[in-house]
Amino acid sequence: MTLLAFVILLTAVTVGYVINLRAARAIRDGGTRMHSLESFHGGYAALMTLVPTFFLIIIWMLFQGTVIELIVKSGISDQLEGLGTGETQLVMAEIRSIAGGRIFGTPEQWKLDAAERLVALRGLSGWLLVAVTAALATTMLYVSRRTVSSEFRARQGVERIVHVLMAGCATVAIFVTIGIVASLLFETFRFFQMVPFWDFLLGTNWEPQIPIREDQVAAEGAFGMLPVFLGTLVIAFVAMVIATPIGLLSAIYLHEFASNRIRGVVKPVLEVLAGVPTVVYGFFAILVIAPAIRSFGTDLGLPIASNTALAAGSVMGIMLIPFISSFADDALGAVPRSLRDGSLAVGATQAETMLKVLFPAAIPGIVGGILLAISRAIGETMIVVMAAGLIAKMTINPLDSVTTVTVQIVTLLIGDTAFDSPKTLAAFALGMVLFLMTLCINILALRIVRKYREIYD
């Protein structure tokens, strides 16, 4: 039925376009000068039909389930009386599955009746949708056909509608972000009802093993985020120490010194590097880097953990090289050529020009890129899940095994989880910490970029 509604919609849109186009053409051929081109008259009809009808169908689809269930429920209110929310939901689920043809055991007659009613209502709703769609589309077709005249400003009309649509698209992202933050906040708030805020923020002990069931034997959990946070910082630091110089130098080389042939080979390779799935980087860390570091350590007589922060961090650094290098390349490319010429014309070498003119002028973009890379390093999950440790340790030694915020979120949410235990809710608190960290870094990045812009432009 929904499909049919969409077919009607599409047909109406096409018909509206053609009718108005023809009507406008007829007026023009009659010798009158039109304000708008004929195609705008057509487009106006198409949009006037499309937008309201489309939203009607979407809203209908969103709410028809809820409305139908409310009607069914009110029909069996006698039987539901005295039941709690959970039990009511169970009954409704059973009715739904009966309606879907999956009958278990022998349900009571009233349930069967309700299911039958549900099926009937669904069918009715489908036909009603088709009817309403057709009616609305026809009305809009009529309304827009009436507007066709030589003075009607169809172009402005089309522009206004498209304007509103674009503004809508722009706000979708904002509202989704607000929604995500709100849900995160809500769960975090629940967590802090169970675990004191300061214990979480300043605790140096992270042991989220708590009993999930009443009768389970387990230690009393400790939720101090500092060691986890520190582990994230250590790994991100290692990653940036590797990614920043290599990324910047490769960008400078490719932008200023490499011949066209070398650039033609190296740039695509770097871009391929950017497209490697992080899982593959994880394999690389486990199979190549970690054993290499450990055997190197044993040769030196150092005790080195098998999943060191160094291994995870350096592979993450490799992942970030193309990221930083492409940002730096863009920033250098945005420096006007006239500055380069001006420097070369006073007899500066290419290296001096790069070091003293191009690089300083590109710094805002480069710093912005580096900070975004830090955000990514902090939020990166897959590599550390595979290559970093699980035990939280208060250490800044990159040769030790540390864990990160993202790793802990994953382990907390894997397996048998109850959404009312601090163990699970701790994941949301950690997520909130992660979100706030990257938010601060991004704000800082924006501020730095803006500050340097003021000086340089």
Q: Taking the CA atoms of 17, 20, 22 and 25 in sequence, report the sign of the dihedral they define.
A: negative
For another protein, the closer of residues 163 and 356 by Cβ is 356
In angstroms, the first-to-last Cα distance of the chain is 59
For another protein, the closer of residues 21 and 362 by Cβ is 362
Q: How far apart are CA 430 and CA 408, in angstroms?
A: 8
Q: How far apart are CA 107 and CA 453, in angstroms?
A: 72
For another protein, the closer of residues 134 and 258 by Cβ is 258
Could you list the residues that contact another protein (CB under 8 A)? 260, 336, 338-349, 352, 356-357, 360-361, 455-457
Measured from the CB of residue 262, what is the shortest distance to another protein in angstroms? 13
Measured from the CB of residue 449, what is the shortest distance to another protein in angstroms? 14
Measured from the CB of residue 331, what is the shortest distance to another protein in angstroms? 13
Measured from the CB of residue 206, what is the shortest distance to another protein in angstroms? 47
Q: Could you tell me which residues come within 8 angstroms of residue 205 by beta carbon, excluding any fewer than 6 positions away? A: 222, 224, 227, 392
Fill in the DSSP letter of residue 285: I
Rounded (10°) CA dihedral 419, 421, 427, 429: 110
Measured from the CB of residue 260, what is the shortest distance to another protein in angstroms? 7
Q: Where are the beta strands (DSSP E) in 92-237?
A: 206-207, 222-223
Phi, psi for 402 (deg, rounded to 5): -125, 170
Burial zone of 157 (CB within 10 Å; 0-12 exposed, 13-18 middle, 19+ buried): buried
Note whether 318 and 380 are within 8 A (CB).
Answer: no
Give the 3-state secondary structure of residue 224: coil
Q: How far apart are CA 189 and CA 38, in angstroms?
A: 58
For another protein, the closer of residues 316 and 354 by Cβ is 354
Fill in the DSSP letter of residue 325: H
For another protein, the closer of residues 139 and 349 by Cβ is 349
Query: Tokens standing for 84?
Result: 């709690």
174-196 burial by CB neighbour count: b if 16+ within 10 A, else e?
eeeeeeeeeebeebbebbbeebe
Measured from the CB of residue 267, what is the shortest distance to another protein in angstroms? 16
Query: Tokens standing for 165?
Result: 């649509």
Q: Could you tell me which residues come within 8 angstroms of residue 435 by beta carbon, excluding any fewer than 6 positions away? A: 181, 184
Measured from the CB of residue 341, what is the shortest distance to another protein in angstroms? 6
Note whether 403 and 392 are within 8 A (CB).
Answer: yes
For another protein, the closer of residues 196 and 336 by Cβ is 336
Measured from the CB of residue 352, what is the shortest distance to another protein in angstroms? 6
Query: Tokens standing for 430?
Result: 């950690």
For another protein, the closer of residues 245 and 336 by Cβ is 336
For another protein, the closer of residues 145 and 263 by Cβ is 263
Burial zone of 278 (CB within 10 Å; 0-12 exposed, 13-18 middle, 19+ buried): middle
For another protein, the closer of residues 234 and 358 by Cβ is 358
Q: How far apart are CA 77 and CA 70, in angstroms?
A: 10
Measured from the CB of residue 310, what is the shortest distance to another protein in angstroms? 39
Measured from the CB of residue 361, what is the shortest distance to another protein in angstroms? 5
Measured from the CB of residue 356, what is the shortest distance to another protein in angstroms? 7
For another protein, the closer of residues 314 and 343 by Cβ is 343
For another protein, the closer of residues 172 and 346 by Cβ is 346
Note whether 392 and 401 are within 8 A (CB).
Answer: no
Note whether 265 and 342 are within 8 A (CB).
Answer: no
